[in-house]
C-alpha cells in the first residue's frame, strides 16, 4: 500500500510530489501522457505574476503572492531559468485609468510589493516600444518569467532524488474508495492501493473527482488561449511583461518576454467543451495581432516562428478548489488551477502538504532531504573555456546538432537517458531546446530522430513526434539484405 498517489504530472502535481518527498512517506505520481508537463504546463504565458489581479481574500490571491516570493529560492534550488522582468499594466483611456487605480489598490491589498503608478512619460522612458497613447501605467517590479515545463521536470527530478516514484503512460481510469484507502485503476488494467489520492489532473480534475464525490461543487470549463512566438532575435524589444487593463474576459492579450529572448503574443480566451482540442484559429490569431498593438508599437510580426495554444482548467467555482473530498477526506481536490496556477504552484504544494495533509505535524520529516537539483550548464550558456571542458568530458559536445539553439549531441543523449526522460522529438525539444529556434527543427529533427533511434535501438520509423504512436515517418522504402 502506498501512502500517496498524485494524479497528474503538470507543474502542480510535480511540485506536490517534491513537497511530499520532504517526509518519510511513499509517493507515486501518475501521468497519462508519455511525458510530464504536456498540458497547461506546456502552453501558457510563463509569467510569475505579482498577484495584482486575483480578488482580495481569494485562495488565488493568497497563493499567487506567496508563490511569487517562493520562485527565487525555487529557481536556485532547482536550477530553473527565471528572469526578473517586471511588468506594466497599461491604461489607454479614462475608463481604464479608473480601473487601473482600483487595480493599484487591489495589488496593495493583496500584499504585492513595490507597486507604483507611473505617468506616460516615465513609462515610455523605461519601455521604449510601449504603444503611443498610453495614459498611465501600473508598475509591478516583482513580476518574473520562467520556463514552465522545466519547472515540472526539475521538480520531479528532485522528488525522485528524494525517493518519490513516477509512471508515465499511466492514465487513471477509475478510483474506488474502500474503508481507509483507495484502489486506483491504471489504463483499465493495473490496480494500485493508496491511502491518499491527490487529484492534480488539470482539465480532467472533475471527471476523476466524480469517482469519489457525487455532487461536485465545481465543473471544469476549459478555456483556450492561443499565441504567437517571435524568434529570439527580437530579444530586448520589450524588457517587461505588458498587460492591458483586465476585463471581465480575463487578463487579455499580453506581450511577454521569455527567458531565452523570444517574445510571446497572446493569449486569446475562448471557452470550449472539449478537453483536448488545442487547435489554432486564423481569426483568433488575427485578434492577437490587433490587441497586442494596443500595448506595444513596432512589433516585429515578421519574426513569428510559431503558433500554439493551451487550455486553462477554469472552473465554475471561480477560485482554486483545494480541499479534501467531503465524504472521503483522504482524497484531495487540487482543481480549477487556471491562471495564476504556474505562479501559485509552489505555494499550492506547500498549502496541500502543510495545511491540509500535515496540519497536525505527524508526518515524519526526512533528515536527508536534498533540495538541490544537479543540472549541467547548457553548452549555449557556456563560455569558451567551459566548452573546451565539456568537450574533454564527452567529445560528442563537438557535434552541434541544433545550430539555432546551439545544442550538442552529448546533450541530446543525456536528455534521452535522464531520470525524467521522454525520448520523442518534442520530449527532446522540451529538455534541450533543439528545434525551438528559427528553423523549427527543419534541420536538426533528422539528426535527432537518428540519435533517438540509435540510443533506443529502434528503427527511425518508430521514433515518435510527441505522443505515443505518432511516428513522423511511415516506412522504410528499401528492404535491406
Partner 1 sequence: MERNEGETMNVDIVVIGGGASGLAAALSAKDETNSVIVLEREHVLGGILNQCIHNGFGLHVFREELTGPEYASRFIEKFHAENIDYKLDTTVLSINKPDDCFIVEAYNNEDGALTIHAKAVILSSGCYERTRGQIKLPGARVAGIMPAGSAQRYLNIDGYLAGKDVFILGSGDIGLIMARRMTLEGAKVHGVAELMPYSNGLTRNIVQCLHDFDIPLYLSHTVTDIKGTKRLEEITIQEVDENYQPIAGTEKKFSVDTLLLSVGLVPDTMVFESMDLTLSPITKGAIVDHTYQSNIPGIFACGNALHVHDLVDWVTIESEKAGASAKRYVAGEIKEERNNLTIEPREGIRYTVPQSIDMNNFKEPVTVMFRVTNKYDVGTFTVKQGDTIIQQKKARFIAPAEMESLMIKPEQLIDQTTPITIELEVK
Ligand X SMILES: Cc1cc2nc3c(=O)[nH]c(=O)nc-3n(C[C@H](O)[C@H](O)[C@H](O)COP(=O)(O)OP(=O)(O)OC[C@H]3O[C@@H](n4cnc5c(N)ncnc54)[C@H](O)[C@@H]3O)c2cc1C
Q: Minimum Å distance from CB 174 to ligand X? A: 10
Minimum distance between the CB of residue 189 and partner 1, rounded to whole angstroms? 21
Residue 478 binds which entry of partner 1, ligand X, none, with Cβ cut-offs from 5 to 8 Å by kind? Answer: partner 1
Kindly state the cell numbers that stand for 108: 496593495
- On whether the CB atoms of residues 109 and 52 are closer than 8 A, the answer is no
What is the closest distance, in whole angstroms, from the C-beta atom of residue 110 to ligand X in the complex? 14
H helix or E strand, kind and range, residue 274: none
The string of DSSP codes covering 306-365 is EEEEEEE--BTTSS-EEEE-SS-TTEEEEE---TTHHHHHHHHHHIIIIIIITTT--SPB
Establish if 312 lies at the interface with ligand X (CB under 6 A): yes
Nearest Cα residue to 343 out of 148, 106, 203, 155: 148
* Per-residue contact string for residues 337-356; x = within reach of ligand X by CB under 6 A: xxxxxxx-------------
Supply the minimum distance, in Å, between the C-beta of residue 305 and partner 1. 5
Nearer to ligand X, 253 or 449 (CB): 253
Which one of 6, 12, 28, 131 is in contact with ligand X (CB under 6 A)?
Answer: 12
Alpha-carbon radius of gyration of the chain: 23
Q: How far is the CB of 377 from partner 1 (least distance, A)?
A: 16
Q: Which of 4, 5, 6, 8 binds ligand X (CB under 6 A)?
A: 8
Q: Is 279 exposed, middle or buried, given 0-12, 13-18 or 19+ CB atoms closer than 10 A?
A: exposed
The span from the CA of 44 to the CA of 51, in Å, is 17
Which residues ranging from 230 to 289 are in contact with partner 1 (CB under 8 A)? 233, 276-282, 285
Q: Is 46 in the site for ligand X (CB under 6 A)?
A: yes
Q: What is the DSSP letter of 34?
A: S
Task: Point out which span in 297-305, 310-318, 450-458, 461-469 binds ligand X (CB under 6 A).
Answer: 310-318
> Which range in 114-122, 299-307, 358-366, 413-421 contacts partner 1 by CB under 8 A?
299-307
Alpha helices in 373-443 (DSSP H): 384-393, 409-416, 425-432
d(CA 399, CA 407): 8
| Own/partner long-range contacts of 186-190 (Cβ < 8 Å, ≥24 apart) | 186/30
Asked if the bond preceding 260 is cis, omega within 30° of 0, the reply is: no
204: partner contacted, choices ligand X, partner 1, none (Cβ within 5-8 A by kind): ligand X
Which of 23, 71 has the CB closer to ligand X? 71
**What does the block give as the cell for 130?**
510601449
**Which are the catalytic amino acids?**
49
Nearest distance from C-beta of residue 364 to ligand X, angstroms: 27
Q: Is 387 in the site for partner 1 (CB under 8 A)?
A: yes
Q: Is 305 in the site for partner 1 (CB under 8 A)?
A: yes
67's CB contacts (< 8 A; 6+ apart) are: 48, 340, 343, 344, 345, 346, 347, 348
Residues that bind partner 1 (CB under 8 A): 228-229, 233, 276-282, 285, 302, 304-308, 384, 387-388, 391-392, 395-400, 403-404, 406, 408, 438-443, 445-446, 450, 460-461, 464-478
Residues that bind ligand X (CB under 6 A): 7-13, 30-33, 38-41, 43-47, 49, 171-172, 200-202, 204, 208, 225, 267, 310-312, 337-343, 403
Amino acid at each position: 500500500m502506498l501512502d500517496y498517489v498524485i494524479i497528474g504530472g503538470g507543474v502542480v502535481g510535480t511540485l506536490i510530489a517534491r513537497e511530499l518527498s520532504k517526509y518519510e512517506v511513499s509517493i507515486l505520481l501518475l501521468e497519462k501522457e508519455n511525458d510530464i508537463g504536456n498540458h497547461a504546463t506546456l502552453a501558457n504565458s510563463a509569467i510569475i505574476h505579482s498577484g495584482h489581479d486575483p480578488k482580495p481574500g481569494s485562495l488565488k490571491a493568497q497563493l499567487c503572492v506567496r508563490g511569487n516570493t517562493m520562485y527565487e529560492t525555487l529557481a536556485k534550488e532547482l536550477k530553473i531559468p527565471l528572469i526578473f522582468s517586471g511588468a506594466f499594466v497599461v491604461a489607454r483611456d479614462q475608463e481604464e485609468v479608473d480601473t487601473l487605480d482600483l487595480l493599484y489598490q487591489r495589488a496593495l491589498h493583496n500584499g504585492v510589493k513595490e507597486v507604483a503608478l507611473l505617468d506616460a512619460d516615465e513609462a515610455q522612458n523605461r519601455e521604449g516600444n510601449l504603444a503611443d497613447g498610453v495614459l498611465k501605467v501600473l508598475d509591478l517590479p516583482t513580476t518574473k518569467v520562467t520556463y514552465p515545463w522545466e519547472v515540472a521536470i526539475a521538480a520531479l527530478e528532485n522528488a525522485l532524488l528524494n525517493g518519490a516514484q513516477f509512471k508515465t503512460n499511466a492514465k487513471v481510469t477509475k478510483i474506488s474508495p474502500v474503508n481507509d484507502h483507495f484502489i486506483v485503476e491504471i489504463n483499465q488494467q493495473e490496480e494500485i492501493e493508496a491511502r491518499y489520492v491527490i487529484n492534480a489532473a488539470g482539465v480532467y480534475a472533475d471527471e476523476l473527482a466524480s469517482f469519489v464525490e457525487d455532487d461536485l461543487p465545481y465543473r471544469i470549463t476549459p478555456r483556450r488561449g492561443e499565441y504567437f512566438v517571435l524568434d529570439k532575435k527580437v530579444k530586448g524589444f520589450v524588457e517587461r511583461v505588458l498587460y492591458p487593463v483586465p476585463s471581465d474576459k480575463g487578463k487579455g492579450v499580453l506581450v511577454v518576454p521569455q527567458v531565452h529572448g523570444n517574445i510571446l503574443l497572446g493569449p486569446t480566451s475562448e471557452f470550449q467543451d472539449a478537453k483536448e482540442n488545442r487547435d489554432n484559429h486564423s481569426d483568433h490569431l488575427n485578434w492577437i495581432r490587433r490587441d497586442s498593438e494596443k500595448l506595444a508599437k513596432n512589433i516585429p510580426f515578421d519574426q513569428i516562428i510559431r503558433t500554439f495554444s493551451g487550455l486553462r482548467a477554469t472552473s465554475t467555482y471561480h477560485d482554486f478548489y483545494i480541499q479534501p473530498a467531503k465524504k472521503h477526506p483522504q482524497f484531495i481536490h487540487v482543481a480549477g488551477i487556471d491562471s495564476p496556477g504556474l505562479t501559485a504552484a509552489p505555494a499550492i504544494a506547500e498549502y496541500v502538504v502543510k495545511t491540509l495533509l500535515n496540519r497536525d505535524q505527524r508526518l515524519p520529516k526526512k533528515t536527508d532531504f536534498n533540495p538541490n537539483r544537479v543540472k549541467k550548464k547548457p553548452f549555449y550558456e557556456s563560455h569558451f573555456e567551459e566548452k573546451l571542458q565539456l568537450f574533454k568530458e564527452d567529445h560528442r559536445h563537438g557535434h552541434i546538432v541544433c545550430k539555432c539553439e546551439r545544442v550538442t549531441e552529448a546533450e541530446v543523449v543525456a536528455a534521452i537517458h535522464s531520470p525524467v526522460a521522454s525520448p520523442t522529438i518534442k520530449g527532446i525539444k522540451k529538455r534541450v531546446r533543439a528545434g525551438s529556434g528559427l528553423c523549427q527543427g527543419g534541420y536538426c529533427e533528422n539528426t535527432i530522430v537518428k540519435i533517438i533511434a540509435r540510443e533506443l535501438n529502434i528503427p527511425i520509423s518508430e521514433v515518435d513526434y510527441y505522443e505515443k504512436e505518432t511516428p513522423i515517418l511511415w516506412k522504410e522504402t528499401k528492404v535491406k539484405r
